[in-house]
Amino acid sequence: MIGLPVVYALAGLVFGAFAILSALDRTNSRRWGNAVFWGLVAASFLAGDRLGDLGNGVLVLGLALIAGLGGLGRGAPLTTSTEERRALATRFGGRLFIPALTLPVVVIFGVLVLKPLQIDGAPLLDPKQATLISLALAAVIATGVGLILLRQPLISPLQEGRRLMDTVGWAALLPQMLAALGAVFALAGVGETIGQLVTDWIPMDARLTAVAVYCLGMAGFTMIMGNAFAAFPVMTAGVALPILIGKFGGDPAVVASIGMLSGFCGTLMTPLAANFNLVPAALLELPDRYAVIKAQIPTALPLLLVNVGLMYVLAFH
């Protein structure tokens, strides 16, 4: 059975290559910072399960210190100039989109065809991780297609990948760091404390108030925790189950579903949802790291109010 370990080994080798190429890049005045940073990420992927909890903690501390003390620079691998790219675009035309389209096609193939496959009664892919494994497989195949179809140098996936990785920089590791912070929050009972505060201080005698507290609470709490999954159990146990469903007889399916989507409105508004909001800002080289969030708030706020209205109208019938 192919599972996550294979994917992690691949990721480890790719980040290891980024580290080595960074060390060799004399155009980057902080090349050793980049080399150690991506090297630590490679070590995490290749040997994370053998480092022990404390070992992993020290590794994360190293990542944070390099990033926090300004140890990361930006490598400048040799690449094509804008003029060359325009000329190449004219030459290749629509063929340029084929590698990018190969990616979704292989992902779909993996999920629909490879996932159900069984060899001697055992599944070919770990069923829980089929999408991630398919994505990794698709990345490898699409890179190969790009190399052959567009006649690019063999080293280019690693050098160009490093160029993009340096563009994202420390933001690349933030989503994983925040997931770890979420675990510490859970350990310390932060969620319960906040849920307790909400239910203790806000009277919820009227149905509309209770609906508003649940929806706005899901959004606000998601903004603090960085994802709606962490907010859902706390807010639902604190407000939805006893009051909306227990006291006012709301339909649990409507309450839960719209409650979760209210949380997603919060996701659009918080820097703690880094993989959706901060990583794209880095990837698109935006000067303002909060530009994506600012573009989302005017959609998220009205939608949150719509959710309050929808739950109020639809949940009690």
Partner 1 sequence: MLSLLGVAAVVVGFAARLNPLLVVVVAAFITGVAAGLSPVEVLAAFGKSFNESRFISVAFLVLPMIGVVERAGIQEQARGLMQRLRGVSVGPLLIVYLLFRQGTSALGLTSIAGQTQSIRPIIAPMAEGAVESRSGPLDADGRQDIRATAAATDNVGLFFGEDIFVAIGSILLMVGFLATAGIVIDPIHLSLWAIPTAVAAFLIHGARLLVFDRRMRGRPVA
Subset of residues 127 to 146 that bind partner 1, contact rule: CB under 8 A: 129, 131-132, 134-136, 139-140, 142-143, 146
Pattern 262-281, partner 1, x by CB under 8 A: --x--xx--xx-xxxxxxxx
Radius of gyration, alpha carbons of the chain:
24
Nearest distance from residue 1's CB to partner 1, in Å? 17
In the list 1, 58, 113, 117, the residue contacting partner 1 (rule: CB under 8 A) is 58
Nearer to partner 1, 121 or 315 (CB): 315
Q: Is 230 exposed, middle or buried (0-12, 13-18, 19+ CB in 10 A)?
A: buried
Q: Taking CB under 8 A as the criterion, which residues in 20-39 touch partner 1?
A: none
Pattern 282-301, partner 1, x by CB under 8 A: -xx-xxxx-xx-xxx-xx--
Q: Report the candidate in 177, 179, 274, 255 with the shortest Cα–Cα distance to residue 217.
A: 255
Helix axes 291-314, 207-225, angle to 10 degrees: 150
Nearer to partner 1, 23 or 96 (CB): 96
**123 in helix, strand or coil?**
strand
Q: Taking CB under 8 A as the criterion, which residues in 242-261 touch partner 1?
A: 245, 252-254, 256-258, 260-261
Helices assigned H by DSSP within 206-248: 207-225, 228-235
Q: Is 73 in the site for partner 1 (CB under 8 A)?
A: no
Nearer to partner 1, 210 or 277 (CB): 277
Q: Is 150 in the site for partner 1 (CB under 8 A)?
A: yes
Q: Taking CB under 8 A as the criterion, which residues in 74-113 touch partner 1?
A: 79-80, 82, 84-90, 92-94, 96-97, 99-100, 103-104, 107-108, 111
CB 72 within 8 A of CB 30: yes
Q: Taking CB under 8 A as the criterion, which residues in 168-187 touch partner 1?
A: 168, 170-185, 187
CA distances (Å), origin 72, targets 56, 170, 223 = 20, 8, 28
**C-alpha to C-alpha distance for 239 and 297, rounded to whole angstroms:** 25
Main-chain phi, psi angles of 233, to 5 degrees: -60, -40
CB atoms within 10 A of CB 60: 16
CB atoms within 10 A of CB 110: 23
Nearer to partner 1, 32 or 109 (CB): 109
- The H-or-E segment that residue 122 falls in is strand 122-123
Nearest distance from residue 59's CB to partner 1, in Å? 7
In the list 7, 213, 218, 231, the residue contacting partner 1 (rule: CB under 8 A) is 7
Q: Tokens for 156, please give them.
A: 């280019």
Task: State which amino acid sits at residue 163.
Answer: R
**C-alpha to C-alpha distance for 290 and 176, rounded to whole angstroms:** 19
**C-alpha to C-alpha distance for 74 and 81, rounded to whole angstroms:** 17
Total site size for partner 1, rule CB under 8 A: 145
Nearer to partner 1, 156 or 199 (CB): 156
Q: Taking CB under 8 A as the criterion, which residues in 36-55 touch partner 1?
A: 41, 44-45, 48-49, 51-55
Q: Is 61 in the site for partner 1 (CB under 8 A)?
A: yes
Tell how many helices (H) and how many strands (E) occur in the chain.
Answer: 13, 2
Query: Which region, judged by CB under 8 A, interacts with partner 1, from 24-32, 114-122, 155-163, 200-208?
Result: 155-163
Q: Taking CB under 8 A as the criterion, which residues in 192-251 touch partner 1?
A: 193-194, 224, 228-229, 232-233, 236-237, 241, 245
Nearer to partner 1, 23 or 135 (CB): 135
